[in-house]
Structure 1
Amino acid sequence: MSVADPAASTSPASTATQALRAAAERGDADAVADLLAPDVVFHSPMTERVTFVGREEVAALHRDIFAVLDGLETTDPLALGDSRSFSFRAQVRGVELEAHVLLHVNEQGQIDELKIFVRPFPALATLFGTLPPRVSARRRGPLTGTVAAIVTWPLAVAVRTADRFTPRFL
Structure 2
Amino acid sequence: MSVSGPAAPSTSPISTAITALRAAGESGDADAVAELLAPDVVFHSPMTSRIRFEGKEEVTALHRDIFAVLEDIHTTEPLARGDTRSFSFHARVRGVELEAINLVRFNDQGQIVEFTVFVRPLAGLATLFAALPPRVSARRRGRLRGATVAVLTRPLAFVLRTADRLTPRFL
The normalised TM-score by structure 2 is 0.95
How far the C-alpha of 1:7 sits from its partner, in A, is: 4.4
The C-alpha deviation readout for 1:110-130, integer Å capped at 9, x for no partner, is 000000000001100110011
Alpha-carbon distance in structure 2 between the residues aligned to 1:47 and 1:109 = 27
2:74 is equivalent to residue 73 of structure 1:
yes
Instruction: Please say if residues 14 and 109 of structure 2, whose CA atoms lie closer than 8 Å, have aligned partners that are also in contact.
Output: no
Partner amino acid for 2:54?
A: V
* Of 160-169 and 33-42, the range deviating more from structure 2: 160-169
CA-CA distance at 1:54 after TM superposition: 0.3
- Normalising by structure 1, we get a TM-score of 0.95
Distance 1:7 1:160, change over 3 A: farther
- Which aligned pairs between 1:1-170 and structure 2 lie closer than 5 A? 7-170=8-171
Instruction: Indicate the SS of the match to 2:35.
Output: helix
- Specify every segment of 5 or more residues in structure 1 that has no aligned partner in the other structure, as ranges: 1-5
Query: Deviations along 1:82-121, whole A, 9 cap, x unmatched?
Result: 1000000000000000000000110221000000000001
**Paired letter, 1:58:** V
Pairwise CA RMSD: 1.0
For structure 2, the 5+ residue unaligned runs are 1-6
Q: Identical aligned pairs, as a percentage?
A: 70
Alpha-carbon separation, structure 2, partners of 1:9 and 1:93: 37
Q: Between Structure 1 and Structure 2, whose CA radius of gyration is higher?
A: 2
The code of the aligned residue for 1:64 comes to: D
